[in-house]
């Protein structure tokens, strides 16, 4: 401990200690880069000076509507500019942003509004029925409802509520922001989309949000003035905190309401997008896009992908198209990405195809802003051997980790048992320390006493030329207990032959690993592109 | 303030709160980049695994020698690998690193060793006489003296003391580090080279050191794997904290014991140096180097320069040679650079020559890790108008600001009066918020009641084809009170004509601004390349 013999007079003061908060980035950007493009959403283009002024208006208007420090402001919004502005305007009012997944059902939204005690709700006109029904279904007092129309997207104002722009007009573009006095104050409340039971409210602190914004530019090879496309929903870990990062690097945030191949290609070609994050399904969309939906560009686009390892075939295709793909991995509880598969050209530069994909399939190493992320036996909290074989649970420690679950002491204590955040994900750690998920614990299929990795089986199926997307789950079997069952989305124009696909899989897998059944149909997905395996498990029971 | 209605159970714990420290970067780098080049010093080349192991040895050996947490370990070392290792090994022992300027006189070094109560001193063999004399002149108990030979540089071990490598042999390469339990603990003690009175001991905290390492990559357009050359002395603001930054970005630290044009060019050509910092005198050295001392290279070298604005002629020459120059500005009290003249191509891309240099001569805007840096009237603490004319004092607030001066409450209170760190530098702030130093307060020459900016006069003289370096100070004058007096170093082969230089200056300056006398001689400089104007003022009195 570095306390010197005489530390008198060396205490913290206003000059040498300022609570960490991403709000500081926008305040600085408005001074340093006032005229640069800050937020682009179709015809809406604001400079940093305008962005800052609008955020000040929002913050002061919220205060005028009675939103007090520590109150929760909820949002039911797609990736539009009001949602981006709310990421600064809500905390600048001292309030806590609760971005709610727009795909949720009425009952769950009502639960979240009740549980978070939202004081005000910003709802896109498209999701106004959901908002209204959820408010009607609440037990507690309803939030003030502000309507956020998006006429350009076909959702003009209904006229029934104060609109977002009307709200801003109530504010003051020069209003002072309420900055945190303590960096442990809360900045966001994000409900996990649990597959069972009620969602849990993950609470983010200003400190953690600031620190991930400082680590991300290093991880993402980001120099000043990036152009960032918001494919990751803003209600998903606050867009992996990227909208908070942009002002730190003078970057431009380009909104993406509807995620289609033409929209992404146009943003790359017309706005010069340099960075985006998204699930592998987005990569597939780009690879499989029709010729007329594509645009040419001559720069490299840095892509963070998460949710599942990118398939070798996808990687091989997309990397020749101008995209550099890095897998990241994380959870809502750690502000989005917490590990990255940092590429090391001197180690792996010569690898191609499957071998290259095998490296890029790893979840990798801790972000620079995180501390220790490792694989442990949860019973003993001992690290498992770094041999690429021994399995354990991924455990995380670091400053971009949630405060805990809101009003849920038991779940918080359980998640933090032993001084680490327990991810629930089962992984191995390679000799070079890179982590690789073996399986989500619930994704392991146990067939005849043998563990089958659904990730491994999926990786094989993705190499089949007709397969666009697939998921493998357990199906009950009288003889083996469980057997792998594959659900497959075919590429456009391809026809499916289950026997042929099973034979293909058998060439690359052990008998017990080979799917016994292949079903061709569209896969159920969450709003963030994650395949909903629990739905497939239900479906497998009916086969 | 973002405290939610019910924050119970949301407190800090071991998983979500880890004290910030640059030590974490090296611990991570040893895991992520173990085989990458970490430190290069001539024939000494260590990987990150080896670097980490040697640091562990040093930390545990220090403990074995009785160095306890909070003790001060001093260093009288040039930019060699032991000095780099000490930046991690000393704090990893829980101790505080006190890197002492090797150009100081015996009495001042003795004062520093006494004042800091150094428990142990690492001294390069070249500076052993200084160390021995200083220890002999101390009032208090002497530190343990460890000799750090550098045989390759002509300084083999004397045999009289334990050597650095012997010390490391006492340690354990697997020893656990003592990490800070509180990020406010002290990591370094740096004495300012005050021009009058005794030096003051600036105390750095782990938090501030960590945060500048996260801001620097953004400011310096640094992506993973930079090659960094240590021209800035490690005893100068801990090398602007760059050696602490390198492991965060997997970078290589290349040592530079003697700063000569061939050594710099060789490091760029042979090791691929991508970044270095240095005073403008280093830029002059590169521009004026003989053809046989130069090496060609085909990448861009990013240069941070500080201490004085780079002259237009220097900039114009060096920018065509593959160097991109950014002026930064700071002081020991703010860990080195705190502002940067962030280049904005869309504003200034078309400027050339004097106009381009005029922009690059600004000290600029706050680093991303700092908070508010502005120009204020110290009497009222009001910001002066941002009109490029109104003068005030540069005031700083932010997390990379010292804890205070060690055992000097009055100086600490004075420096932090009004909640800002007072730099003592007089500046204007342009309408675009960029700060520009008008003059160090003591550098203003008052001639016939008019303020003369010595910086302005120097800028004009530097444009004269014969002038390599110059400094302008006040000379007492019966009629005018003070008049500007110029000291000039000529370019190699140039001859000086005082009348001709005065006439040249008169073309660009008002009569009262024009030097009345020009003296041709080598300028006295500090070890960091800053011109010692106080020496020139003394000299001017004798003319």
The verdict on a CB contact (< 8 Å) between B421 and A15 is yes
Q: Write down the mean pLDDT value for chain A.
A: 93
- Mean pLDDT check: name the lowest of A52-56, A265-269, A512-516, B136-140: A512-516
Q: How far is B18 from chain A (nearest CA, A)?
A: 6
Whole-angstrom distance, CA of residue B466 vs CA of residue B505 = 13
The verdict on a CB contact (< 8 Å) between A5 and B432 is no
Task: Judge whether residue B459 has pLDDT over 90.
Answer: no
Of B14, B91, B218, nearest to A248 by CB-CB distance is B218
The verdict on a CB contact (< 8 Å) between B2 and A224 is no
Task: Judge whether residue B82 has pLDDT over 90.
Answer: yes
Q: What is the pLDDT of residue A509?
A: 81
Torsion angle, alpha carbons of A528, A532, A533, A536, to 10: -150
Whole-angstrom distance, CA of residue B190 vs CA of residue B406 = 10
Q: What is the pLDDT of residue B281?
A: 81
Q: Please report residues of B whose CB lies closer than 8 A to that of A14.
A: 397, 416, 419-420
Greatest CA separation found in chain B? 78
HEC string of A149-175?
CEHHHCECCCCCCCEHHHHHHCCCCCC
Q: Are B233 and B239 in contact (CB under 8 A)?
A: yes
B538 touching A (Cβ < 8 Å): no
Q: Please report residues of A whose CB lies closer than 8 A to that of B8.
A: 409
- What are A91's two structure tokens? 């905390």
B412 touching A (Cβ < 8 Å): yes
The verdict on a CB contact (< 8 Å) between A399 and B20 is yes
Residue matched to tokens 């992984």 = A427
Task: Judge whether residue B136 has pLDDT over 90.
Answer: yes
Q: How many helices (H) and strands (E) would you count in chain A?
A: 18, 26
B95 touching A (Cβ < 8 Å): yes
A contact residues 132-191, partner B, Cβ 8 Å cutoff: 178, 180-182, 184-187, 189
For residue A283, give the nearest of A258, A261, A298 by alpha carbon.
A261
DSSP output for B437-499: EEEEGGG-EEETTEEE-HHHHHHHHTTSTTEEEEEEEEEEETTTEEEEEEEEEEPTT----HH
CA-nearest residue to B416 within chain A is A15
Prediction pTM value:
0.88
Predicted confidence band at A441 (pLDDT cuts at 50, 70, 90)? low
A342 touching B (Cβ < 8 Å): yes
**Could you read off the pLDDT of B196-205 as tens digits, one per residue?**
568 899 999 9
Q: Please report residues of B whose CB lies closer than 8 A to that of A185.
A: 1-3
- Mean pLDDT check: name the lowest of A49-53, B333-337, B358-362: B358-362
Residue matched to tokens 């009345």 = B516
Average pLDDT over residues A238-252: 98
Percent of chain A with pLDDT over 70: 97
Q: How far is B281 from chain A (nearest CA, A)?
A: 28
Residue matched to tokens 């039971």 = A197
CA-nearest residue to B429 within chain A is A31
Predicted confidence band at B466 (pLDDT cuts at 50, 70, 90)? very high
> Exposed, middle or buried: residue B350 (CB in 10 Å: 0-12, 13-18, 19+)?
exposed
3-state helix, strand and coil shares in percent for chain B, rounded to the nearest 5: 35, 25, 40
Q: How far is B455 from chain A (nearest CA, A)?
A: 25
The verdict on a CB contact (< 8 Å) between B398 and A18 is yes
For residue A360, give the nearest of A309, A434, A302 by alpha carbon.
A309
CA-nearest residue to A367 within chain B is B28
A424 touching B (Cβ < 8 Å): no
The verdict on a CB contact (< 8 Å) between B6 and A223 is no
Task: Judge whether residue A527 has pLDDT over 70.
Answer: no
Average pLDDT over residues A215-244: 96
Q: What is the pLDDT of residue B369?
A: 96
**Could you read off the pLDDT of A386-433 as tens digits, one per residue?**
999 998 999 999 999 999 999 999 999 999 999 999 998 889 999 999
Whole-angstrom distance, CA of residue A428 vs CA of residue B266 = 44
Q: What is the pLDDT of residue A277?
A: 96
DSSP output for A434-499: -EEEEEEGGG-EEETTEEE-HHHHHHHHTTSTTEEEEEEEEEEETTTEEEEEEEEEEPTT----HH
B36 touching A (Cβ < 8 Å): yes
- Mean pLDDT check: name the lowest of B1-15, B103-117, B195-209, B285-299: B195-209
Whole-angstrom distance, CA of residue B394 vs CA of residue B429 = 9
Tell me the residue length of chain A.
543
- What are A508's two structure tokens? 């690359």
How far is the CA of B470 from the CAs of A233, B152, B520, in angstroms? 57, 35, 9
Q: Please report residues of A whose CB lies closer than 8 A to that of B365.
A: 28, 31-32
Q: Are A87 and A244 in contact (CB under 8 A)?
A: yes
B32 touching A (Cβ < 8 Å): yes
Average pLDDT over residues A355-375: 94
Q: How far is B301 from chain A (nearest CA, A)?
A: 15
**Residue A298 CB neighbours (<10 A):** 6
Task: Judge whether residue B231 has pLDDT over 60.
Answer: yes
Task: Judge whether residue A95 has pLDDT over 90.
Answer: yes
Interface test with B, best of A16, A182, A221 (most B CBs within 10 A): A16
The complex scores an ipTM of 0.88
**Could you read off the pLDDT of A102-155 as tens digits, one per residue?**
988 899 999 999 999 999 999 999 999 999 999 999 999 999 999 999 999 999
Percent of chain B with pLDDT over 70: 97
Q: Please report residues of B whose CB lies closer than 8 A to that of A221.
A: 223-224
Average pLDDT over residues A21-39: 97
- At B292, is the secondary structure helix, strand, or coil? helix
Of B15, B185, B248, nearest to A419 by CB-CB distance is B15
Task: Judge whether residue A452 has pLDDT over 80.
Answer: no
Predicted confidence band at B193 (pLDDT cuts at 50, 70, 90)? low
Q: How far is B266 from chain A (nearest CA, A)?
A: 23
Q: What is the pLDDT of residue A321?
A: 95
Q: What is the pLDDT of residue B239?
A: 96
Task: Judge whether residue B512 has pLDDT over 50.
Answer: yes
Interface test with B, best of A15, A26, A338, A405 (most B CBs within 10 A): A15
Q: Are A356 and A324 in contact (CB under 8 A)?
A: no
Residue matched to tokens 């714990």 = B13
Q: What is the pLDDT of residue A195?
A: 45
Q: Please report residues of B whose CB lies closer than 8 A to that of A205.
A: 16
The verdict on a CB contact (< 8 Å) between A69 and B1 is yes
Q: What is the pLDDT of residue B315?
A: 87
A75 touching B (Cβ < 8 Å): no
Q: What is the pLDDT of residue A312?
A: 81
B476 vs B58, more confident: B58
The verdict on a CB contact (< 8 Å) between B2 and A95 is yes
Q: Please report residues of A whose CB lies closer than 8 A to that of B72.
A: 4
Q: Are A20 and A215 in contact (CB under 8 A)?
A: no
Q: Please report residues of A whose CB lies closer than 8 A to that of B69.
A: 1-3
Between A and B, how many residue pairs show a Cβ–Cβ distance under 8 A? 230
> Exposed, middle or buried: residue A415 (CB in 10 Å: 0-12, 13-18, 19+)?
buried
């Amino acid at each position: 401990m570095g306390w010197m013999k005489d530390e008198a007079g060396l205490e913290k003061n206003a000059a040498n200690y300022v609570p960490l908060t991403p709000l500081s980035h926008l305040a600085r950007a408005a001074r340093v880069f006032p005229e640069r493009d800050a937020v682009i959403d179709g015809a809406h283009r604001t400079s940093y000076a305008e962005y800052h002024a609008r955020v000040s208006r929002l913050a002061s208007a919220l205060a005028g509507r009675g939103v007090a420090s520590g109150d929760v402001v909820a949002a039911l919004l797609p990736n539009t500019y009001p949602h981006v502005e709310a990421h600064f305007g809500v905390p600048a009012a001292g309030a806590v942003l609760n971005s709610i997944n727009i795909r949720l059902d009425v009952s769950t939204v009502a639960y979240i509004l009740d549980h978070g005690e939202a004081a005000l709700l910003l709802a896109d006109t498209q999701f106004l029925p959901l908002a209204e029904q959820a408010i009607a279904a609440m037990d507690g007092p309803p939030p003030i409802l502000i309507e956020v129309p998006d006429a350009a997207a076909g959702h003009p104002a209904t006229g029934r509520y104060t609109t977002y722009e009307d709200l801003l007009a109530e504010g003051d573009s020069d209003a002072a922001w309420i900055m945190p006095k303590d960096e442990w104050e809360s900045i966001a409340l994000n409900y996990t989309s649990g597959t069972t039971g009620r969602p849990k409210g993950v609470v983010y602190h200003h400190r953690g949000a600031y620190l991930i914004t400082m680590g991300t530019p290093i991880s993402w090879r980001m120099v000043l003035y990036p152009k960032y496309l918001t494919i990751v929903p803003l209600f998903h870990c606050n867009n992996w905190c990227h909208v908070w990062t942009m002002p730190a690097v003078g970057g431009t945030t380009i909104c993406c309401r509807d995620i289609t191949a033409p929209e992404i290609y146009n943003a790359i070609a017309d706005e010069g997008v340099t960075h985006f994050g998204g699930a592998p399904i987005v990569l597939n969309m780009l690879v499989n896009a029709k010729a007329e939906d594509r645009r040419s560009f001559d720069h490299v686009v840095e892509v963070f992908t998460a949710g599942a390892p990118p398939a070798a075939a996808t990687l091989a295709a997309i990397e020749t198209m101008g995209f550099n793909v890095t897998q990241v991995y994380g959870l809502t509880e750690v502000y989005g990405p917490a590990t990255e598969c940092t590429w090391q050209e001197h180690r792996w530069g010569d690898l191609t195809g499957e071998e290259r994909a095998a490296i890029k399939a790893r979840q990798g190493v801790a972000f620079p802003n995180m501390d220790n992320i490792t694989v442990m036996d949860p019973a003993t909290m001992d690290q498992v051997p770094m041999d690429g074989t021994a399995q354990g649970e991924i455990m995380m420690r670091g400053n971009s980790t949630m405060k805990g679950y809101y009003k849920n002491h038991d779940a918080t204590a359980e998640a933090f048992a032993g001084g680490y955040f327990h991810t629930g994900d089962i992984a191995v750690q390679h000799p070079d320390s890179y982590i690789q998920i073996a399986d989500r614990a619930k994704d392991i299929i146990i067939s005849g006493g043998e563990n089958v990795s659904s990730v491994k089986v999926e990786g094989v199926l993705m190499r089949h030329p007709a397969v666009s997307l697939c998921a493998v789950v357990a199906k009950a079997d009288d003889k083996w207990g469980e057997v792998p069952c594959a659900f497959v989305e075919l590429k456009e124009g391809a026809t499916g032959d289950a026997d042929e696909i099973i034979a293909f899989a058998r060439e690359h897998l052990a008998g017990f690993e080979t799917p016994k059944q292949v079903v061709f149909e569209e896969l159920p997905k969450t709003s963030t592109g994650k395949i909903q395996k629990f739905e497939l498990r239900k479906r497998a029971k009916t086969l």
